[in-house]
Structure 1
Amino acid sequence: LSGAPLAQHRSIELSEDPSAPNFFVNGRQFSMGAPTFDTPAKVGTVEEWTITNTSGEDHPFHMHTDAFQVTAVNGIPAPYPHRQDTVIVPHAVNGTPGRVVIRQQFSDYPGLWMFHCHIAAHEDHGMMGYIQVNP
């Protein structure tokens, strides 16, 4: 996917409240009535997403429906061009968020595509979102 034209760039921030079991995607806890992004994706396109982690622990980011390609982790190009459905987003160090850049292809499945931290307790306490994918 590294040479594919990009339809859109998106940003995701993973964060948490260390004083309570509350976890967030883009500052919000999961709600089925509110997609993470106002603008839907479109089937047949490729997008580049930058996922940052401002917390003090790693978060395994997991995408449902179709795999993605990791292009960089903390600014270092990814060594393997294969597709995967989960990637560790490193924790913040000295106030600098961990950062992963992925390319997501929206193949031929319109509908709601879910993504979340793959640690069940984090997902259950709000670190989950979705994107609407239109035909």
Structure 2
Amino acid sequence: MRYALLMHHHEPAEGELSAEAQRAFDVYAKALQQAGVLLAAEVLQPMDASTTVTNRDGAVQVQDGPFAATKEALAGVFLIDVPDLDAAIGWAGKCPGAQWGTMEIRPVATSFVDGGWTR
């Protein structure tokens, strides 16, 4: 089953993420890959680089910045394919981001893979 491991934590300033933390994320991503469960890993740019789009009654509106101002931000996503929630919890607990932020585990409902939708 596919799970998204969503990292939520305060947004570090430029250069605030230590070399040690960067190495820890590298080790973590490589462990996921070596276990054969990693589908994708994405570190997101800061919230001020985001754009919010809505479409209400055919009118597309574009707004700079995130939808909501919060103390914690979605910082990155690991997409994994593991047998069950217990396995996803195990991997989320090993993520370096869990040491200073929150890991949200969300099952994937539908995936677009190889040109088609699957459950």
Give the structure with the larger helix fraction.
2
Higher relative contact order (CA 8 A, sep 6+): 2
Structure whose alpha-carbon radius of gyration is higher: 2
Same fold (TM over 0.5): no
